[in-house]
Structure 1
Amino acid sequence: MPPSPAQRPTSRRTPPDWLVRTLKPQRAPTPWAAVARAAIAMSTPLAIGLATDHPTYGALAGMGALSGVIGDTADAYRMRILNIAVPQLFGALGVTIGSAVFGHGWLAVTAVTAIALVSGMISTIGAVASVAGLLLLLNCVVGAGLPMPGDWWLAPLLMTSGGALVLLLALLAWPLRGGVPERAAVASTYRGVAYLLEAASQNPLEYAETRLAVTQSLNQAYDLVLARRARTHGRNPELVRLVSQLNAVTPVVEAAPAVHECGVPLPPQVPDAVRALADVIASGRTADSAPLELPEPDGPASRALDHAVRHAAEVAARTGDSEFTNIDDRLGHPAALRVRARRGARNVILSGASWRYGLRLALCIGIAQALVSLVPVPRSYWVALTITFVMKPDFGSVFSRAVLRALGTAAGLLVAAAVLSEVPLGWWDVPVMLLLAALIPALTPRGYAFQTAAITPVILLLSDILNHQGTALLAPRLLDSLMGCAIALVAGYLLWPESWHTRIGDRLADAVADTAMYVECAFGETKDPAVRARMRRRLYRDLSVIRTEFQRALTEPPPTGRRAAAWWPLVVAVERIVDATTAARVRVRHGSPAPSSAEVTQVVLQLRELAQGLRDSVVLAEVRADFGGGPGLREGVLEQVRQEVAAARAIGVRGGPTGEQPTTA
C-alpha cells in the first residue's frame, strides 16, 4: 500500500500516478509447478498432432490447454478440479454454439451477443463461475469466427482434451500431497499472526498493513478449508482439525488490536510460540502437550493474548477425533454444492448488478460483432476476444485493463514477430511452445500487461499452425486489439455513469453500520460467542474488500483516481474504529468493567450517524460531547472507540452524491 495518496505536484516529465500504479509489476513468487504443467500441457498436443500428421488438431487441443492453464490457479486439489474442469465444460458448449452459427451473418451476431449476456451474468457468481463465463464467451467467439475442422463434435472434444491434460497434470501429486495445501494455508495464517503481534507492539507503522495481510490470509485459509469440507461427505477428522485450528487463532488476532492500543512491547516468546505452532501445523504433527513457557501477563490485553495463545497450543496438541466433536465452527457449516448453486442462480436472476454487467458486456460484444460484419476486418474474432478479457467484472478497472491490454499486446507482438519470422512450421514449434507456455503462469502474477504479453505469442503461434499466415497475423492482431480496447472504453466504460465514481464511500458506510451492530452484539444482551465471531470476521473481510476497491480506484484516470485517493484518511479511520471496538471487547472479556447500556447506546448512535453522513456525502459536524449521556460516560471501556469515531467525523465528506470527495476538516 502506498503512503498517504495526497496529490503531489509533479513535473511535466513525470508520468501521472494512476499510470505508474497501473504499470507497476506486482510482487509475487513464481509458481514453478504451474510453470512446468503449462509447458508440458501445451507442447504435448502439438507433438502428438505433428506425429499423427494432424497439426491443426494439436493446435485446437493446445487452445483448450491454454484455457486450462489460465484457470490453473487453485492450491487445493479438489479446488483444481472445479477451477479447471467446470470451465472446460462451458468452453465446450461455447465452441459448439459458435461453430453452429459460423458464417450465418446476423444470426451469428445475435447468438454471440446473447452468449455475452449470459456470460456476463454468471460471471458475477464467483471465481469458478467467472472463469466458466469467460471460456463460454471466448470459445463461442472463436467458433463463430474460425472454421473448425471435422464434424461438429470434434473441436469441442479436442479443446476439452487439452484442458483435461492440464487437470491430469495438476492432480498427479494428489495421492502424495493430499491435504498439504490446506495445512500450508493454515500455517501461513499462524505465521502472519506472529508478525502481526510483533508489529502491534513494536512497529505501529507496519501494523495496519500486517493486519490486512493477516485478514486476507485468514480469509483464504477459511475459504480453502471450508470449500474442501463442503465437498467431503461425512466427518473428515483432518478438516475438522484444520477448522478448529483456524478458530483457535481467531482470539489471537482479536487480541492484537488491544496489544496495539496499549503500546507495550511484547516479550519475543509470544510471537515465537505462534511461529512454533505454525511449523507444527505445516508438518501435520501434533504439538507438544506441555504448557507453554510464557511470561506472566500484565493487564487485560496481555491476559487476553496469553489465554488465546495457550488455547491455540492446546488445540494444536489434540490428537483424537473425539476431542474436536464440540469445536464451534465459528462460520457455520458450509452449504452443499447444490444449495450454493441454487442460491447463486437465484442471486444472478434477481441481482441488478449482474443484469447491468451482462448488458454492458452484451452491448460491447454486439457492437464488435456488428462492426466486423459490416466492415471487412481480418481475424475479426480477435476484437470480441479483447473485449471479453477487458470487461471481466472481477479483473479490476476496465480503463486500466484496456491500457494494459494494448501495451501487453504490443509487447507480445514483438516476441511473436521474432518467432513467426525465424521459426519454421513443424517440429520446431514444440520446443518454442515449451518455452512460451512456461511464461504464462510465471508472468501472470506480475500483472495483466505481463500476462497479455505472455499469452499473445502463444495464441499467434497456434493461429499460425491453423492458418499458415506467418507474420501477416501481426498487424491484424494489433489492429483488432486496439479496436476491442476502444469499444470497451467507450461502450463499456465512458457511457456508464457508475464508471465515473467510486464505491468506496458506500462500502465504508456499510462497514460503519455493521460496526454499530457489532457494538450492540458485543456489549449488549447477545451472549452467543459464535454470532460475535461471525460478525467480527465479516467486518474485517469487508475492510479487506474496501482496501482492494481503493487500490483498484487509484488506477483510474482523473477525476476518479483523485476522488478515490481523497478517501484514504477515512479508510484508515474506519479500520481504526473496528480495531478499537475489537480491543474494547477483548478487554471486557479479560477483566475490564463492561460498558453501561447508556455508553453502548451513545457509541452506536454516533456510528450510525457517521454511516449516514458517509452515504449522504455531507460535511460531518464535530462529535457532541454529551451525545446521549453525561461526562462520566467518557471514562468507560468504549472511550477509545468514541475517540476514533470523533476522528473519522472530523475528516468529513465534501460534495454531493456525484462528487464524493472526502477532505480533512
Structure 2
Amino acid sequence: MLAAGLRTGQTALGVIAAIAAMLVGINDRPGSRRASVKRLGVPALAGALGLLLGTYAGQGLAAVPLTMALTALGLVAGGMSAVGPVASAAGTQLLVAAAVGAGMPAAESGFLRALAFLAGAGWLLLLRLALPTPGSLGGDFRFDGERQAVADVYDAVGALVAAVGGEHATARRAALTAALDHAQDALAGPRLRRYAGSAAERRLHAQFAAALPLAEAATALYWAGEPVPARAAEGPRRLAAAVRDNTGTGPLPAPHRSAPALRALDDALLHAADAFDRGDGAHRGLLGRRRGVRHALRAALGAGGREYGLRVALCFGASAAIAQALHHSRWYGPHTHWYWLPATAVFLVKPDLGPLASRVLCRAAGTVLGAVVFAGFAALLPRPAGLIVLVAVCGAVIPVATRNFAALTAVVTVLVLALVMAGGEPQASVSRIGETLLACALVLVVGHLPMPGERGGGVRARLAAAGGAAHAYLLHVLGESGDRTERWALRREAYRTLAEARTAIALAAAELPSLARHTEGTDALAEVLERLVDTTTACAVHLDDTGRLTPRHLRRLREALGELEQRGMRVPLPAAA
C-alpha cells in the first residue's frame, strides 16, 4: 500500500493505508478464516470513523476544544472496550486513528483519508480470507481453521476423560472449556450463503453440535472423580481424527455403561457417529446465545465500563493536551506531529494486554529498542526503496511479535518511524523515545488514581454475569424441561462467562499490590461458581438417566450455593430441589 501511494504521488494516503494494514495485522490472531471478518473488520471500521472524526476535529477546532472532544471520545471508546475483545480492539483503533487524524495535518479531506484507511485494512483482510493457513495446502482449506477448532474439542473431551480421577483433571476441564469457546467463535463467522451454506459447512456445524453432549458427559465424569477405563477416551480421539482429516469415523470402541455418565458418554458417541455420517447440520442453533445490543450497553455502562472509560478519557485527553503544548513550544525540536503521545497512551491503558506495570515497562523497552534499531537502518538504507522494504519486513514480522508486548512494540516502532520518514518527515527516533516515556509516566499515574465507585468493577461485573448465567443454567436443569438444545446453549454460556471472569481475575491479580488488592477474594468466588456449574452438569446427566437426583448431588448443590451466599453472591436453589 505504501509503494502504491509513493508511485501515484499520494504519499500521505499511502502512509495511512499502511497504518491501517499494520493495525489489522496487530489484531489478527490464529483462528478460522471467516471469524476474522468480524475480528478484523469491526475494528477497521472503527478506525476509519476515528480518522474521519479526528481529521475534521483537528482542522476545525482550536487546541482546547480539540482536547475536550478527544477526551469525550476516549470516554465513549473506553466504555465500549469493556464489552469484549472485538469491542476493545475497535475502541483502541477508534482512538489511535482519531489521534493520527487530528495530529497529522494533510491536504486530503477526512473522507478521503477514511477511504484510504479502509483500503489498507481491506487489503490485509482480503489476503487473510484468500490465502490458506500454512499446513492446509493438501486439502480443502476453506474451513481449515473451523475444522481444526472442532477437532480440538473432541481431543479435549478425550483428554478430560483420560484424566478423570487424576491430578490433571481440573486443567483438562478448563482446556475443554477453552476449546469449546474457540470452536464456537470459529463457527460464528459469516455464512457463505444466506440460508443453508455449503455441505462442508453444514457438516462442521453438525460435528460441533455432536460434541456438546460428549463434553457434558465428560464433565459429569470429572465431577464424579472416579477413574474410567482407558479405552473410554479412544472414541472422542477417533472423532477428532475424523474431523481433522474430513473422513468417516470408522469403528468406535465398545461401550462402557456401568454409570450414568458413562452411559451418557457412549450414547453421545453413537449420536456423534450418526451425525458424522449424515452431516445434515442438525442443531445449528447450538453456537450459544448471541450477545446483542442490550448486553453491550450493560457492559459499557456498568461498573467496569465506567471505570475503564474514565481512565481512558483521562489518559487520552491529558496526553493530547500535553502533546499539543509540546507541539507549540519553541524548544521541542523539529518534530511537528503530536499524535504519538496520545496513541501510545491508548495502547498502554488497555487492561486486556496484561498488568499495567508490565505494559509500561515492555512499552518503554520496546520503543527504545525499536527507535535505536531504526536509527541504524535510517542511516544505511536508500530512500524510499529501503524504507519500503523495511515496512514490508516489519509487517511480515508482526504476527510473530504479537506473542510478546515488548517485541510487538519494537517492531511497530520501527514500522511507524519508517512510514513517517517515507512520508517526508525527518528522522524522529529521539522524540519518539521521549514521548513514549512521558506516556508511560502519565498512564502509571492515572492507572493508580482513585476513581468514583468500587475499584475492580470490571472483574466484579464479569463475575456477576457468570453468576447470572450459572443461575439460568441451574433453573433450566432442575426445572426438567427436557429441551436439551436450550440446556446445552445455557451450559455454554455459563462456562464461557466463567472463563471470561477467570481471565479478568488473573490479569487483575498480576497487577501491583496497590491495584491487585481491590480484587482480592474474587478467585475463590470464581472457583465456587465453577463447582456449581460442574455440579449442575452432573445433575443434568443423572436426571437424563434416572429421572431423580442422589443425596450427593443435592448436598453438593447446597454446599456451593451456601458458600456463594457467604461470599456475597446469592443464587437461590429452585423449590423443586
TM-score with structure 2 length normalisation? 0.84
Give the superposed CA RMSD. 3.6
Cα deviation digits, residues 51-95 of structure 1 (max 9, x gap): 446555433332222122223336333333333344333323322
Question: Which of residues 487, 491, 508 is equivalent to 1:532?
Answer: 487
TM-aligned CA deviation for residue 458 of structure 1 = 0.7
Aligned to 1:247: 209
Cα deviation digits, residues 261-313 of structure 1 (max 9, x gap): 5555433433222122112222333434x6x3325432333323222222222
| 8 Å CA contact 1:506, 1:615 repeated in 2 | no
TM-aligned CA deviation for residue 548 of structure 1 = 0.8
Cα deviation digits, residues 639-662 of structure 1 (max 9, x gap): xxxxxxxxxxxxxxxxxxxxxxxx
Cα deviation digits, residues 443-478 of structure 1 (max 9, x gap): 10x2322221221111111122224422xx122112
CA distance, structure 2, for counterparts of residue 603 and residue 569 of structure 1: 17
CA distance, structure 1, for counterparts of residue 270 and residue 550 of structure 2: 27
Aligned residue runs from structure 1 range 298-317, under 5 A: 298-317=258-277
Matching of residue 359 in structure 1 with residue 301 in structure 2:
no
* SS of equivalent to 1:89: helix
Aligned residue runs from structure 1 range 500-579, under 5 A: 501=456, 511=466, 515=470, 518-561=473-516, 568=523, 571-579=526-534
Cα deviation digits, residues 411-432 of structure 1 (max 9, x gap): 3223223222332322122332
Q: How many residues align?
A: 558
Amino acid corresponding to residue 357 of structure 1 in structure 2: Y
Aligned to 1:234: 195
Question: Which of residues 254, 258, 277 is equivalent to 1:294?
Answer: 254
TM-aligned CA deviation for residue 131 of structure 1 = 2.6
CA distance, structure 1, for counterparts of residue 461 and residue 39 of structure 2: 32
Matching of residue 212 in structure 1 with residue 174 in structure 2:
yes
Amino acid corresponding to residue 206 of structure 2 in structure 1: S
TM-aligned CA deviation for residue 346 of structure 1 = 5.0
TM-aligned CA deviation for residue 186 of structure 1 = 0.8
Q: 1:574 to 1:92 in 2, by over 3 A?
A: closer
Matching of residue 371 in structure 1 with residue 327 in structure 2:
no
* SS of equivalent to 1:171: helix
Aligned residue runs from structure 1 range 169-568, under 5 A: 169-173=127-131, 177-201=141-165, 204-228=166-190, 232-236=193-197, 237-288=199-250, 292-319=252-279, 321=280, 324=281, 327=283, 329-330=285-286, 340=292, 342-343=293-294, 346-347=297-298, 351=302, 353-375=304-326, 376=329, 377=332, 378=335, 379-392=337-350, 394-444=352-402, 446-470=403-427, 473-496=428-451, 501=456, 511=466, 515=470, 518-561=473-516, 568=523
Q: 1:407 to 1:240 in 2, by over 3 A?
A: same
Aligned to 2:16: 60
Amino acid corresponding to residue 528 of structure 1 in structure 2: D
CA distance, structure 2, for counterparts of residue 431 and residue 575 of structure 1: 51
TM-aligned CA deviation for residue 200 of structure 1 = 1.6
CA distance, structure 1, for counterparts of residue 76 and residue 418 of structure 2: 30
Q: 1:439 to 1:580 in 2, by over 3 A?
A: same
| 8 Å CA contact 1:65, 1:166 repeated in 2 | yes
TM-aligned CA deviation for residue 195 of structure 1 = 1.4
CA distance, structure 1, for counterparts of residue 48 and residue 461 of structure 2: 40
| 8 Å CA contact 1:124, 1:393 repeated in 2 | no
Q: Which runs of 5+ in 2 are unaligned?
A: 133-138
CA distance, structure 2, for counterparts of residue 114 and residue 562 of structure 1: 30
* SS of equivalent to 2:34: helix
Aligned to 1:89: 45
Amino acid corresponding to residue 450 of structure 2 in structure 1: L
Q: 1:228 to 1:197 in 2, by over 3 A?
A: farther
Aligned to 2:32: 76
Amino acid corresponding to residue 432 of structure 1 in structure 2: L
Q: 1:423 to 1:448 in 2, by over 3 A?
A: same
Q: 1:507 to 1:99 in 2, by over 3 A?
A: closer
Cα deviation digits, residues 512-563 of structure 1 (max 9, x gap): 6765664454344543333432332222223312321232023201144467
CA distance, structure 1, for counterparts of residue 11 and residue 510 of structure 2: 42
Amino acid corresponding to residue 406 of structure 1 in structure 2: A
TM-aligned CA deviation for residue 607 of structure 1 = 3.8
CA distance, structure 1, for counterparts of residue 77 and residue 384 of structure 2: 36
| 8 Å CA contact 2:188, 2:287 repeated in 1 | no
Amino acid corresponding to residue 276 of structure 1 in structure 2: R
Higher Cα Rg: structure 1 or 2?
1
Q: 1:172 to 1:467 in 2, by over 3 A?
A: same
Question: Which of residues 560, 565, 573 is equivalent to 1:612?
Answer: 565
Question: Which of residues 27, 51, 76 is equivalent to 1:118?
Answer: 76
* SS of equivalent to 1:60: helix
